[in-house]
C-alpha cells in the first residue's frame, strides 16, 4: 500500500477543483478526480473516474474502483457543484431538484458510500460558499443548496468526529471565467467600491487553505476564504439584522 495520502475530489476537471487537484498532485498526493463525461479528461498526474454524483450506482462504482487500486481513501473533497442564476421563481421545481441532487444529495451519496468502508476516510472537506451563509437575489436555488450543505457538513462533523474530521470551506466569489457568464448585473458592477473593498478571490488561495487543512492535526467547523467572505461574516455578526437587511436591499435594488 502506498504511503502517499489518497485524495478523492469530485469535479477536478475544471475551475476550482482542477486547481486544488493540481496543487495536491504537485505536493505528492495520489489524486482521483471525477467527470461526468464518458471521455475522461487528461490532466498530468491525475487519475479520473467517470462519475455523475446524482447516480447511486456510479457513486458506489467510483468508490469501489479507488479501493480496488489504493485500498483506501484518506481524504474526500466535495467540490462538484452547479450554479443557476436568475430570478428564483423563474426556475422549475425540476431545476431545483437537479441543483439539490448535485450540490447536496451528491455529497451525501458519496459520503454514505465512502463511510461504509472498513478503512474510513480521515478527513472530509466540503466546498460550500459565501452563499452558504449569505442569501442573495438571483441565487436562490444555489444559496438554498449551499445553506443546506453547511448544515449537513456540521451534522456529519459531530457524528463522524473525531475519527473522520469534517470541515466546510466557504470561499467568496472566485476570480474565474464562469463569473463573467452571469445573466444579471452583479453587485460589484453596480458599486465599483465593492470590487475594491471585496476583490474576487483567487482559486489558488482556496487550494492553499485546503492543503493546510489536510496537514492540520485538527480542523475548525468552517473556514472562510476571501475578503468578501470575511467582511460579510463580520457584518452579519456585528450589525443588527435589520441594518444588514437594508444594505442588501439597497445594493440589489440599484439598477
Ligand atoms: N466559482 C465561484 O465563484 C465559487 C465560489 C464559492 C464556492 N464555489 C464552489 O466551488 C465548487 C466548484 O465550483 P467551480 O466554480 O469550480 O465550478 P465549475 O468550474 O463549473 O466546476 C464544477 C465541477 O463539478 C463537476 N460536476 C458538476 N455536476 C456534476 C455531477 N452531477 N456529478 C459529478 N460532477 C459534477 C464538473 O465536472 P464535469 O463537468 O467534468 O462532470 C466540474 O468539474 C462548487 O461547489 C461551487 O459551488 C464556487
Domain residue ranges in the chain? 6-177+201-226
For the CA of 41, the closest atom of ligand 1 is: 40
As a whole number of angstroms, the distance between CA 143 and CA 45 comes to: 34
Take residue 134 and report the three cell numbers written for it.
449569505
Question: What is the predicted pLDDT for the residue at 100?
Answer: 98
Given this model, what pLDDT does residue 249 score? 92
- Sole residue written with cell 476571501: 226
User: Which atom of ligand 1 has the smallest separation from the CA of 33?
Assistant: 43
pLDDT at res. 38: 87
Return the ligand 1 atom nearest residue 36 CA: 41
Cell, residue 88:
428564483
Residue 2 confidence (pLDDT)? 65
User: Residue 192: its pLDDT value, please?
Assistant: 87
Centre of ligand 1 to C-alpha 56, Å, is 19
Q: How far is the CA of 82 from the centre of ligand 1 (A)?
A: 5
Verify whether ligand 1 is closer than 6 Å to residue 186 (CB atom). no
Give the distance, in angstroms, between the CA of residue 127 and the centroid of all CA atoms in the same chain. 2
Query: Counting atoms of ligand 1 from 1, which one is nearest the CA of 176?
Result: 1
pLDDT in tens, 156-174: 999 999 999 999 999 999 9
The pLDDT, as a whole number, for residue 181 is 63
pLDDT in tens, 64-107: 999 999 999 999 999 999 999 999 999 999 999 999 999 999 99
Find out whether the beta carbon of 51 lies less than 6 Å from any atom of ligand 1: yes
CATH for the 6-177+201-226 domain, from 1.25.40.10, 3.40.50.720, 3.90.700.10, 2.40.160.20? 3.40.50.720
Q: Which residues of the chain have pLDDT under 50?
A: none
Residue nearest to atom 11 of ligand 1 (CA): 79
Contact 37, 198 (CB under 8 A): no
Amino acid at each position: 500500500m502506498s504511503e502517499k495520502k489518497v485524495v478523492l475530489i469530485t469535479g477536478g476537471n475544471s475551475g476550482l477543483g482542477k486547481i486544488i487537484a493540481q496543487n495536491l498532485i504537485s505536493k505528492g498526493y495520489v489524486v482521483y478526480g471525477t467527470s461526468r463525461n464518458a471521455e475522461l479528461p487528461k490532466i498530468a498526474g491525475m487519475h479520473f473516474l467517470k462519475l455523475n454524483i446524482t447516480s447511486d450506482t456510479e457513486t458506489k462504482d467510483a468508490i469501489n474502483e479507488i479501493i480496488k487500486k489504493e485500498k483506501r481513501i484518506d481524504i474526500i473533497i466535495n467540490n462538484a457543484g452547479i450554479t443557476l442564476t436568475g430570478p428564483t421563481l423563474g426556475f422549475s421545481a425540476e431545476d431545483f431538484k437537479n441543483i439539490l441532487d448535485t450540490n447536496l444529495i451528491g455529497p451525501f451519496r458519496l459520503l454514505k458510500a465512502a463511510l461504509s468502508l472498513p478503512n474510513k476516510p480521515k478527513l472530509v472537506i466540503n466546498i460550500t460558499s459565501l452563499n452558504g451563509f449569505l442569501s442573495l437575489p438571483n441565487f436562490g436555488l444555489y444559496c438554498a443548496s449551499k445553506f443546506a450543505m453547511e448544515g449537513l457538513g456540521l451534522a456529519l462533523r459531530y457524528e463522524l468526529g473525531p475519527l473522520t474530521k469534517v470541515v466546510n470551506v466557504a470561499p467568496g466569489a472566485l476570480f474565474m471565467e464562469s463569473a463573467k457568464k452571469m445573466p444579471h448585473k452583479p453587485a460589484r458592477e453596480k458599486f465599483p467600491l465593492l470590487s475594491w473593498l471585496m476583490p474576487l478571490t483567487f482559486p489558488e488561495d482556496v487550494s492553499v487553505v485546503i492543503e493546510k487543512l489536510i496537514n492540520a492535526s485538527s480542523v475548525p467547523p468552517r473556514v472562510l476564504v476571501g475578503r468578501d467572505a470575511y467582511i460579510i461574516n463580520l457584518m452579519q455578526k456585528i450589525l443588527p439584522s435589520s441594518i444588514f437587511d437594508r444594505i442588501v436591499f439597497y445594493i440589489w435594488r440599484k439598477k
